[in-house]
Structure 1
Amino acid sequence: MTLKKALTVLMLILLSASAFSQAKKLDKIITKDYQVIECTISKISDKTVDYSMPNETMTIEIAVSKIARIDFASGRSQTFAQAESVPSQANNTSVNQAATFKQNTIAVLPVPFVNSENMTDSEEMSKFAQNDIYNKLLDKSSHIVSLTVQDLRTTNSLLRKAGIDYKNIDETPIDELQRILGVDNIIAAKVSYTVTENKTSTAYTSQNAKVNDNKVKANEATVANTNTQLLFDYHVYFDMYKNNTKIYTQNRKPMFNLKDSWMDTVSYLLKRSPIYVK
């Protein structure tokens, strides 16, 4: 083998090694406060996990109690469960309380759907919006940070027993809602809207020519059409709570004025919330 060929082979080996190093996948540690740490894990014990950051040799230690899930570079995932705890009843034992708090569980509240012009609300749309958010959470469960989504039947049944529905959900403190539902995470959304009509008119003239006694006569007719399009001006409010603390709040208007545009906005806000991991 000539020197030139040897150098070429050596360069190809170095380039392959470099490409392999760059393409190396990292482990992901997802903490219970929704932080994502991309790293290389070297050791896992009952109490701690040792890891190092990319291109570093220093070992860092994190307590297992702070970890919700680990996604290993191999594709395997390990979830770290937390035991359920009984809420304190020292201050008020007469109030109806949930027996236990289901840790790392998220509930979707009914969504007030209000026409901001006449302040009327819709029970049907409130349930539909609540179902829409719930189904989006289930569809994206692989991207949700180690959270169990509470069944809507359970959520609505507990709220109904407490005398709470879409009409007064905004008036109920979050800590009380968490206690009633027995969860440590809550999504509270609201949609306000107005509807306007956009009318467009078009007109055209048609002519019919007739020949009679060698004379051409033209009859003209004008036809007018009016099209009416409904424009929906939505404003979506999206809040997320963990242990009675608001961890995410956004409000946004859809880009388009279509009837279902609010659904796209809900998807947009959910994907940018702290519980969503790409």
Structure 2
Amino acid sequence: MKKIFLMITMAMFSFAIYAQTKPDIVLKTNGDELKGKVTKISPDDITFTYEGETLEYVLKKSEILKITHSSGRVEVFAKPLPAGDRQKDAVAMAATPVDHHNKIAILPFTFLMDNQPGAELVGLKAQQDAFGFLSNHSAGYTILDPRTTNAALIQAGVTREKMMGFTMKNLSDILGVEYIIDGSVIQAKGYQTSSTNTNADTKVKRDDAEKVKGVSSTSATYNNAVQRYDVSVSLHIYMDNNASIYNESHKAFLSNTDGSYIGPLEYLLKRCPLYRK
């Protein structure tokens, strides 16, 4: 009996030592993983010390996804977009299907030139650029590649002309995602710059005695006009219950000659709720 008691005591002692050497792991909503010791938990924040250090840091609970304690116990605090913050939808309040969770689809962008429908290829290119940028900053999310998204839409009969006949919940069910990004690029002709260059050439003809026999001159004038464009991008993000969680627009700071939308597009993506550093 004494031997059994001794073995149990040693096992508990060993487990206590192991628990003390194993760190607490704090997983933040941006994907960062911190290892150390959680020394205090208050209603709004936690106090944390890194491994091998004594300095205490205070972290907001809103920035923490979960804590895996050294004992193995997992304490969940938040999710990238908490369910409690989902906006109510009067049309459909069905819970998010499990296979939709944390999945994102980006629709082909609408491209307007002087408020008129523009080239469809520009909208597809903007869709691809948004996918490429957000894919590098989407820890915890899965983003459908544009080819898969577009193929699923076509197979379901969702063309650009018929897009307005589908709710965002309809599209989420078709694509199997929780979030849908709908964007537009608006390009308008801005001011035009022009320049004029004149070149003159004078030739003097002389004979062998270095006497001037005649003078000839030529001149040419070149005109150059450059069209500049004002470009703005709009982003609208919906959830699979038709709730809108982000709706912003941004205009390029300076007019450009190629109609580039990359600057305002990245500006908006960096500030949307799905972006992770």
TM-score normalized with structure 1 length = 0.62
Q: Secondary structure at the match of 2:157?
A: coil
Q: CA deviation at 1:56?
A: 7.4
Aligned in 2, Cα 1:37/1:70: closer, same or farther, shift over 3 Å?
Answer: same
Q: CA deviation at 1:270?
A: 0.9
Instruction: Tell me the residue number matched to 2:175.
Output: 181
Instruction: Tell me the residue number matched to 1:250.
Output: 248
Query: In 2, Cα distance between the equivalents of 1:135 and 1:58?
Result: 34
Alignment partner of 1:204 out of 199, 202, 205: 199
Task: Name the count of aligned residue pairs.
Answer: 218
CA deviation map 1:18-68 (0-9, x unaligned): xxxxxxxx94521xxx8999997639xxxxxx9436887999989xxx975
Q: CA deviation at 1:163?
A: 2.2
Query: In 1, Cα distance between the equivalents of 2:203 and 2:60?
Result: 89
Q: Secondary structure at the match of 1:261?
A: coil
Query: In 2, Cα distance between the equivalents of 1:60 and 1:266?
Result: 30
Are residue 152 (structure 1) and residue 146 (structure 2) matched?
yes
Query: In 2, Cα distance between the equivalents of 1:202 and 1:230?
Result: 18
Query: In 1, Cα distance between the equivalents of 2:98 and 2:225?
Result: 54
Greater relative contact order (Cα < 8 A, sep 6+): 2
Instruction: Tell me the residue number matched to 1:261.
Output: 260
Matches within 5 A, 1:1-278: 27-30=26-29, 42=38, 51-52=46-47, 101-117=99-115, 119-138=116-135, 140=136, 143-169=137-163, 172-195=166-189, 198-211=193-206, 214-215=211-212, 217-243=214-240, 244-256=242-254, 257-259=256-258, 261-278=260-277
Query: In 2, Cα distance between the equivalents of 1:272 and 1:171?
Result: 29
Q: Secondary structure at the match of 1:127?
A: helix
Gaps of 5+ in 2: 1-24, 40-44, 50-54, 70-75, 80-90
Query: In 1, Cα distance between the equivalents of 2:128 and 2:61?
Result: 41
Aligned in 2, Cα 1:198/1:173: closer, same or farther, shift over 3 Å?
Answer: farther
Q: Secondary structure at the match of 1:183?
A: coil
Q: CA deviation at 1:192?
A: 1.4
Aligned in 2, Cα 1:128/1:71: closer, same or farther, shift over 3 Å?
Answer: farther
CA contact (8 A) 1:158 1:180 kept: yes
CA contact (8 A) 1:236 1:266 kept: yes
Q: CA deviation at 1:136?
A: 1.4
Aligned in 2, Cα 1:105/1:67: closer, same or farther, shift over 3 Å?
Answer: farther
CA deviation map 1:155-204 (0-9, x unaligned): 11221123223444456432222222221111111011124654322112
Q: CA deviation at 1:218?
A: 2.9
Deviates more, 1:187-196 or 1:213-222: 213-222
CA contact (8 A) 1:101 1:179 kept: no
CA deviation map 1:105-147 (0-9, x unaligned): 0000011112125x13222212111111111122x1xx32411
Query: In 2, Cα distance between the equivalents of 1:261 and 1:60?
Result: 39
Query: In 2, Cα distance between the equivalents of 1:190 and 1:125?
Result: 10
CA contact (8 A) 1:234 1:253 kept: yes
Aligned in 2, Cα 1:59/1:276: closer, same or farther, shift over 3 Å?
Answer: closer
Q: CA deviation at 1:274?
A: 1.8
TM-score normalized with structure 2 length = 0.62
Aligned in 2, Cα 1:260/1:135: closer, same or farther, shift over 3 Å?
Answer: farther
- Whichever residue aligns with residue 106 of structure 1, its letter is I
**Percentage of identical aligned residues:** 24
